Amino acid sequence: MNPLDQRVTTVWRLTGLVFALPLTAIAGLVEGVVLAPEGIRLLAPGVIAGLAALPLIGFSVLWPGLRYRFWRWQVEADRVLIVKGVLWRSRSLIPRVRIQHVDTRSSPLQRWLGLNSLIIYTAGTRGADAEIPGLAAEEAERLREDLARLEELDDRV
């Protein structure tokens, strides 16, 4: 089974921090604007914001490493296998004959780090059936072309 590119943990960490920092700021605002004028204080100013920041930032920094550790994928002749999940594990087997088309996608942060996501669409679904995030851009393009080439062979038979 293949791991994702290690750089995907940077994407996940930075994305987590983008959400954690505003939530920490909101906690600080609530503490300073709502609680302080009412005379409600904990031990010192900033305690509520600090208590909010610790788990949010800690989760943003630590969780991506665990997530990366349990993410594996493999493209075989007859199927695509995806295994993922830290607490809830999932194992997806996508038969090659059900694959309708395959796209690559990347956010600005992924492009900056040279990464892409491979998106697999299958028959019988409205949206993407599976995504393999955090692939090196060249590898994602190669996989997309390989899967498209396999489908072309099926169409000729």
CB atoms within 10 A of CB 52: 19
Cβ pair 57, 17 in contact under 8 A = yes
Q: Is the model's pLDDT at 43 over the cut of 90? A: no
Say if residue 88 is in the same domain as residue 19: no
Residue 103 pLDDT > 50: yes
Of the three residues 69, 101, 126, the one that is the final residue of a domain is 69
Q: Are both 101 and 63 inside the same structural domain?
A: no
Do 40 and 98 sit in the same domain of this protein?
no
Residues 15, 83 share a domain: no
Residues 150 and 95 in one domain: yes
* Number of domains comprising the chain: 2
CATH code where residue 145 lies: 2.30.29.30
52 and 79 belong to one structural domain: no
Q: What pLDDT digit, counting tens, does each position of 54-87 carry?
A: 898 989 999 999 999 999 999 998 999 999 999 9
Q: Which residues contact 61 (CB under 8 A, 6 or more apart)?
A: 13, 16, 17
The pLDDT of 110-131, averaged and rounded, is: 88
The answer on 86 and 20 residing in a single domain is no
Domain boundaries, position 47: 2-69
pTM: 0.80
Q: Which two tokens stand for residue 106?
A: 């990347």
Within 8 A by CB and 6+ apart from 34, the residues are: none
